[in-house]
Amino acid sequence: MKPLFGDGIIKANGEIWAHQRKLIAPEFFLNRVKGMVDLMVDSTSSLLRLWESRMEDGGEVEIEVYEDLRNYSADVISRACFGSSYLRGEEIFFKLRALQKALAKPNLLAEITGSRLIPNKSNREIWKLEREVHSLVLELVKEGKGLEEKNLLQAILESAKEEFSSLDKAESFIVDNCKSIYFAGHETTAAAASWCLLLLALHPYWQDLARAEVTQLCGTLTPDAHSLQKMKILTMVIQETLRLYPPGPIISRESLGDMELGKLRIPKGLGIYIPVPTLHRDPDIWGPDALIFKPDRFAHGVTSACTLPQAYLPFGVGARKCLGQQFAMLELTIVLSLILSRFSFTVSQTYCHSPVYNLMLEPEFGIKLIVKKVC
């Protein structure tokens, strides 16, 4: 995954990781995230206007929502963290997407033999995309140096200036962290929002409940930080969706010393892969209805939803838990509440259900819904 994440916060370890976390974490503290509500509402409003423009006289229309939600989420992360719109960073997102797809192709032979270092057609394409993304990010950085508004990009730039005497090391630090945040900040949220809409389309009872809650709390007004905190039903829907369709289905770790885990003896240096969907659908943990969409299992929080709360890890667990959890939950709540307030939706007959692992869990053929304006 090095071409995609480099030595940014997702891949780094030890002191380098600790420094990056100390730098980036404050940008995602709750007080900072709350200040992004208006920005997220504004980006969502553009998405809603796009969907309305596709409808004829208040009729209904089939929409492939995943691609639109990816563009929406890319706009949010661009504006919130880097002070630029999605349109400015569109080429970066396009090439990161291509890089993601190239790296997601299973290639056990490359892992065993190290042939990923051989200049074959596939590797040359990956290296070319990596160079292009590097150049594009640095171009964006140069433009961002003159911005007065303090954002994550400015914090990364200041840290690179202080920590690295070498220009190459400073640039790699900047590019690797920008790539990591661009990718993690929009791909995962877009996938989660898409699975949410699919499950609400399949379960009109919960769709109606969530819409009624949004109407009661917001009326004709746009949601604010206060009303968003009160959306209990929508929060349960999001939590249950993240249980059934966790954006990051595999968590990988390396044992730093010999240890025992239950009856297992794990030697130092062993690679450990945690299959999140297996934990999230285990009937011993979640009960006999573990495979059923049941948001009210979270009515009293995660601790009451299952026998082992540590087994619920859509954002990871422990010291490496996702820094953007609060950012993602706020963004999901905003986009879903505004969509519910404007539209109702059912599953299109042309939809083909095929969750696929491309470094995260996404719909292979998109998610096609029949969308209709709410009177």
CA distances 316 to 88, 248, 311, 324, Å, are 31, 8, 10, 11
CA separation for the pair 177, 10 (Å, rounded): 8
Residue 358 — φ and ψ, nearest 5°? Answer: -120, 65
On whether the CB atoms of residues 174 and 141 are closer than 8 A, the answer is yes
Query: Judging by beta carbons within 10 Å of its beta carbon (0-12, 13-18, 19+), is residue 198 exposed, middle or buried?
Result: buried
User: Please, where are the H alpha helices in the chain?
Assistant: 2-5, 14-24, 30-34, 37-53, 65-82, 86-104, 108-113, 121-144, 152-163, 167-202, 204-218, 225-229, 232-244, 276-280, 283-286, 302-305, 325-342
60-64 and 368-373 beta bridge pairing = antiparallel
Check: CB of residue 354 under 8 Å from CB of residue 365.
yes
Q: How far, in Å, CA of 274 to CA of 147, rounded?
A: 41
The span from the CA of 65 to the CA of 367, in Å, is 6
**Nearest alpha carbon to residue 47 among 62, 66, 63, 69:** 69
| DSSP state letter for 254 | E
The answer on whether 306 is annotated among ligand-binding residues is no
Strands 271-275 and 250-254: what pairing? antiparallel
- Rounded CA separation 193/238 (Å): 8
Contact 242, 194 (CB under 8 A): no
Annotated binding site for heme: 322
Annotated binding site: 322
